[in-house]
Amino acid sequence: MKPALTLFLFFYTLTTSAATFTVTSNGDSGPGTLREAILQAAASSAAGPNLIVFDIADQSQAGRTITIQSPLPALSSNLTIDGTTQPGLAFGISNARVAITNPYGTLDIRYFDMLSVNNVGIFGLWLRGVAAGDAFRFRQSSNLQFGAAGKGNLINGFSVGFHCDLISNTDAASTNINVQGNIMGTDPTGMTANFSTFNRADFYFINVANLQIGGLNPGEGNLMVESVSPMNYSWTRIDNFGYLHIEGNIQGTDVTGNTRLCPNHQNFQIDGYNTGSGSVTGSSDLSIDIVNNVSVSGYSFYMINSPFKIQGNHIGVGADNSTNLLSVPGSGTLFLLNFEFCTGGLIGGTNPGDKNYIGYNQKGVYEFWCSNITISRNSFLCNIVGIEFNWMVLNRPAPFVNISLLTTGTVGGTALPNSVIELFYDDECPGCEGKIYIGTTTADNNGNWSYSVIATGAIVATATDTYGATSAFSQATINTNSLVVKNASCGQANGSVKNIQVTSGTEWYWKDAQGNVVANSKDLINVGPGTYTFVTSTLPVRPIPFPISACRLLIQAQLQLPNPVAGRTTVHCSIQDHSAAPLFIPG
């Protein structure tokens, strides 16, 4: 969203009625100070925008640091404060050149207040809060630009970085808010962070319409590391709130996107509004795009009425497509993408750049009472559960997919009629989910489908119904109702276990007690006495043990059914040789 910044620069160069105020002192108040320049801009009669620039003689870091003893005056409309105009080296990787801080005795101090103002831009400042309140607070304001590519701010040590509040639910919304190119919660290098640099929360917004956080052009994304929550966004009435774009940002890691810095991983919380008129989804319109971000925390949507788009992100996964960003201990959410009472949207897409990497959490995607969420061609890795939904759509069956056909060169199964089937190679972790996209096919009018592939690993599938709702990944199950066991005799290798029935498993093998693979088929034949384990690729379900003797099948009444564990489904069979034991025949 560069138009606001472009407008400011246009006025700087072409509008003769603009007033410029120069900060020459790092003092708290008096002539030449920032405080005095803000007051002069508010009192200016210039018709054009006012500009505050900096020319402090002492170019050392201490010389360019302003320590405020009390809150700065509220900002007026048509004002730009540009710290990049200060001579001297930039602080770290930012282009910020003027620092503002507060003494410890002014806890919870708010730095910049914007109340019912328009056309304000703030660039190139290092805001070093010492247990401070808000870096920026605004209400009923519009056309606010905080940072830009090459002109970002450094913001650390605050309770909230950006805060929009209200007095009454009838307050006018703040509109056209752009936050771009800033570094929040780290040191100036963007490589380290601690509790003196963290902001507790990056964004706390109520009733903000047309909000842009980051951007897709170089330098527009923000780096943000917080101690608790990246964002809480909500609205309080039925208005159309335009758009919310979260694009090109790095959240929770250093500037590389591969090393986690935040101690917790709470979701970006995006809450809609419901009038209570009977619809289970939200009542207000908001177009949401979450594109090309790296995020430790993930995103949670509640009561969202409009379709959303989530594409090209790394969620729980580093920018290198593999690093586990959730391996560091800390509290956090169970879900990387959480949707409750939402109409629908798109996660991923058909273009290679649309793929999201979603990994290393308890659940990748969770849906509750949502309808048409399409999940397409993403890479899920090492979640306990990849996709889970609580289907509450009335008068419609839930989407599903089974794999029931596996031959050399072909995989097939069943789904709802005319569903779009996507096939994936499973990841290497215990819970099965689609990591590598293979291809797409479509079920026929009877729900049957097939796909030609020479499989090189375990395969899982999803199905998207004709309304656009995507199923969970196919789950392998084992049925032992028709199990046939032939016991070994006299120590010979003539025992077997046959007729295990597998649904949606596409890779299986038998192991002996030492863990050696002894067969790659569902039937185990020509084996001697011992304990053997059948394994098939699956989501977590319960393993079922079957003790077997050399003389008889011992399917005991007290079969143990252990609690579900993350892993591959197993069946344990013991074949023992008792041929040398004395045979007792009762008289």
What end-to-end distance do the CA atoms of the chain give, in Å?
94
**Quick one: pLDDT at residue 8?**
39
Residue 46: inside a domain: no
Distance CA 333, CA 327 (A): 14
The strand pairing partners of 251, in sequence order, are: 224, 295
Specify the CATH number for the domain of residue 434: 2.60.40
Pick from 398, 425, 454: which residue ends a domain?
Answer: 398
Q: Tens-of-pLDDT digits for all 587 residues of the chain?
A: 333 333 334 334 434 468 999 999 999 999 999 999 999 999 987 667 899 999 999 999 999 999 999 999 999 999 999 999 999 999 999 999 999 999 877 778 999 999 999 999 999 999 999 988 999 999 999 999 999 999 999 999 999 999 999 998 889 999 999 999 999 999 999 999 999 999 999 999 999 999 999 999 999 999 999 999 999 999 888 888 999 999 999 999 999 999 999 998 899 999 988 877 666 777 778 999 999 999 999 999 999 988 999 999 999 999 999 999 998 766 678 899 999 999 899 999 999 999 999 999 999 999 998 889 999 999 999 998 999 988 887 789 999 999 888 888 899 999 999 999 999 998 878 777 999 999 999 999 999 999 999 888 788 999 999 999 999 999 877 767 767 788 877 767 888 888 776 666 666 778 888 888 888 887 888 888 888 887 776 433 333 333 322 222 222 222 222 233 333 444 444 444 333 222 222 22
Handedness of CA 497, 501, 507, 513 (dihedral sign): negative
Same domain, 136 and 200: yes
Domain count, the chain: 3
Q: Is residue 19 part of a domain?
A: no
- The reply to whether 352 and 236 lie within a common domain is yes
Tokens at 222, concatenated: 């923000």
* Residue 331 and residue 430 in one domain: no
Whether residue 554 is found in the same domain as residue 528: yes
User: 450-454: long-range contacts at Cβ-Cβ below 8 A with a sequence spacing of 24 or more?
Assistant: 450/405, 450/410, 450/411, 450/412, 450/413, 451/410, 451/411, 451/412, 451/421, 451/423, 452/409, 452/410, 453/409, 453/410, 453/411, 453/423, 454/408, 454/409
Please give the radius of gyration of the chain, using alpha carbons only, rounded to the nearest integer: 31
Are 248 and 229 in a shared domain?
Answer: yes
Distances in Å between the Cα of 355 and the Cα atoms of 309, 344, 408, 535 are 12, 18, 29, 30
pLDDT of residue 277: 66
Domain shared by 448 and 533, yes or no: no
The answer to whether residue 457 is domain-embedded is yes
Among 96, 80, 76, 78, which Cα is nearest to 88's?
Answer: 96
Cα–Cα distance for residue pair 234/205, rounded to 1 Å = 6
| Inside any domain, residue 52 | no
Q: Is 39 left (phi over 0), alpha (psi -120 to 50) or beta?
A: alpha
Of 41, 68, 43, 69, whose CA–CA distance to 53 is shortest? 41
**Residue 287 in domain:** yes
**Predicted TM-score of the model (pTM):** 0.84
Residues 218, 91 share a domain: yes
Residue 99 tokens, joined: 């620092």
Give the strand pairing for 118-123 and 79-82. Answer: parallel
Name which of 374, 371, 430, 470 is nearest 565 in CA terms.
430
Is residue 336 domain-shared with residue 272, that is, in the same domain?
A: yes
Q: Tell me, yes or no, whether 296 and 253 share the same domain.
A: yes
Considering the domain architecture, whether residues 309 and 167 belong to the same structural domain is answered as yes
Is beta strand 420-426 parallel, antiparallel or unpaired with respect to 459-464?
antiparallel
Examine the domain organization and report whether 353 and 483 are in the same domain: no
- Residues 486, 487, 488: CA angle, nearest 5 degrees: 125
Q: What is the domain extent for residue 328? A: 64-398
Of 362, 377, 398, the last residue of a domain is: 398
Within a domain: 49: no
Residue 235 vs residues 173, 228, 242, 343: alpha-carbon distances, Å: 9, 21, 12, 17
- 450 and 316, same structural domain? no
Residue 583's CB: how many other CB atoms inside 10 A?
Answer: 7
Contact between 75 and 38 (Cβ < 8 Å): yes
Residue 505 has a pLDDT of: 64
- Name the domain boundary from 398, 418, 437: 398
